[in-house]
Amino acid sequence: MPSLKVTAQDVARAAGVSQPTVSRVFTPGNKVSKGMEEKVRAAADALGYRPNTLARSLITGQSMTIGLIVAYLDNPFYTEALERLSLTLKERGYNIMIFMAANQAADVDHVVNDLLSHQVDGIIMASVSTSSALTERLLDEGVPLILFNRGHANAQLSSVTSANFDGGHRVAEFLLAGGHGRIAHISGWQGASTGLDRAEGFMAGLKAAGQKPLAMVDGLFSRKAAAEAARTLFAQDTTPDAIFVGNDHMAFAVLEVLRGELGLSVPGDVSVVGYDDVAMAAWPSFELTTVRQPANRMVEAVVNQLIDQIEGRANGPKQIEINGPLILRSSAHVPEGWS
């Protein structure tokens, strides 16, 4: 015979409290005294009680679940950010549901439909684009949406990014200060705001000093494309003495080509700068100078904005840019006075 299901009323009787008190203990965000919480949870553990999240969602109208859409996880920045997002949302009482989508509007629209059928309380889009029709639909239905590490021209959408233009500008200043005169850029995908903004900031930095890039190549946020771009650049008569790569994921491939295939000294023959400062950037085999995307602050801003929207505290959409420092390591010549 199957065992009878333990209910909140059973826990309340065992703990000597009311059933609403048990509900408050197991409802994220509710305030209960530490002593009362310990008493209720001890009774629940002894009885083997598990709260019925489905029933709670029917009562409250909230699933306590956030949908996350990502295009790819090859870039280690997103795997690191995903871990932070999951832990931060868990601390706030929310679970995360991850969906993969090709970076095409039709595929993203299909995935969003799936998420909506799961009754998610809000959606985070990371590294994907969204169509105007989908944006309007979500706004009309009142489903909170925030873009992570991707901007959008629609001012009605909230987003959190690093200060990509400023970061690219800072790299140009750094490389020029180091005496480099043949600077190439292997950019992130120019169809994405992140790749475009970093490239535009870099170009503006060079222009302010009366300089132009030796070459501009769209690396598509792809290791393979970045590696091939590096081979092409160094097959020319005039080769770069510095390369700014649009993210660390591509920069690692460029370093492997320069050192492993071409036998070049980095930074003796060529300086390399990336963007993201993922954990691998500090590995001795890379020692990559790079602009840090402050993932902790970006995740905190995303979660705060999204939950404010869900709980009705938001005062309109916000587009937040967060500055990160240039992290100096051995892959680039460090100009005198830079620290």
Q: What are the backbone angles phi and psi of residue 5, rounded to the nearest 5°?
A: -70, 130
Residue 259 has pLDDT above 60, yes or no: yes
| Ordered strands of the 271-276 beta sheet | 215-218, 183-187, 242-245, 271-276, 289-292, 326-327
Condensed to tens digits (0 to 9), the pLDDT of residues 123-152 reads: 888 876 666 666 777 777 778 888 888 877
Question: Which residues of the chain form CATH 3.40.50.2300?
Answer: 65-161+295-322, 164-294
Choose between 238 and 40: higher pLDDT: 238
- The superfamily CATH assigns to domain 164-294 is Response regulator (3.40.50.2300)
Quote the pLDDT of residue 98: 84
Question: Which residues of the chain form CATH 1.10.260.40?
Answer: 8-51
Nearest one of 92, 143, 149, 83 to 113, comparing CA atoms: 143
Residue 58 has pLDDT above 50, yes or no: no
Mean pLDDT of all residues in the chain?
85
Query: What kind and span of H or E run contains 57?
Result: helix 53-60
Quote the pLDDT of residue 3: 47
Quote the pLDDT of residue 169: 97
pTM: 0.80
Q: How confident is the model at residue 111 (pLDDT cuts 50, 70, 90)?
A: confident
Quote the pLDDT of residue 227: 97
Secondary structure in 3-state letters for 272-335: EEEEECCHHHHCCCCCCEEEECCHHHHHHHHHHHHHHHHCCCCCCCCEEEECCCEECCCCCCCC
Quote the pLDDT of residue 29: 61
Give the C-alpha separation, 84 to 87, whole Å.
5
Nearest one of 294, 202, 277, 196 to 243, comparing CA atoms: 202
Condensed to tens digits (0 to 9), the pLDDT of residues 298-334 reads: 999 999 999 888 888 877 778 899 999 999 999 999 9
Is residue 221 within 8 Å of residue 250, measured between CB atoms?
yes
Condensed to tens digits (0 to 9), the pLDDT of residues 152-188 reads: 767 777 889 999 999 999 999 999 999 999 999 999 9
Give the C-alpha separation, 323 to 328, whole Å.
16
Give the C-alpha separation, 36 to 272, whole Å.
57
Percent over 90 (pLDDT), the chain: 44
Residue 4 has pLDDT above 70, yes or no: no
Highest mean pLDDT among 31-35, 150-154, 187-191: 187-191
- The superfamily CATH assigns to domain 65-161+295-322 is Response regulator (3.40.50.2300)
Strand partners for 159: 147, 319
Quote the pLDDT of residue 28: 62
Give the C-alpha separation, 32 to 164, whole Å.
43
DSSP code at position 50: -
Quote the pLDDT of residue 17: 85
Q: What is the CATH number of domain 8-51?
A: 1.10.260.40
Quote the pLDDT of residue 192: 83
Beta-carbon-side half-sphere exposure of residue 278 (alpha carbons within 13 Å): 19
Condensed to tens digits (0 to 9), the pLDDT of residues 218-250 reads: 999 999 999 999 999 999 999 999 999 999 999
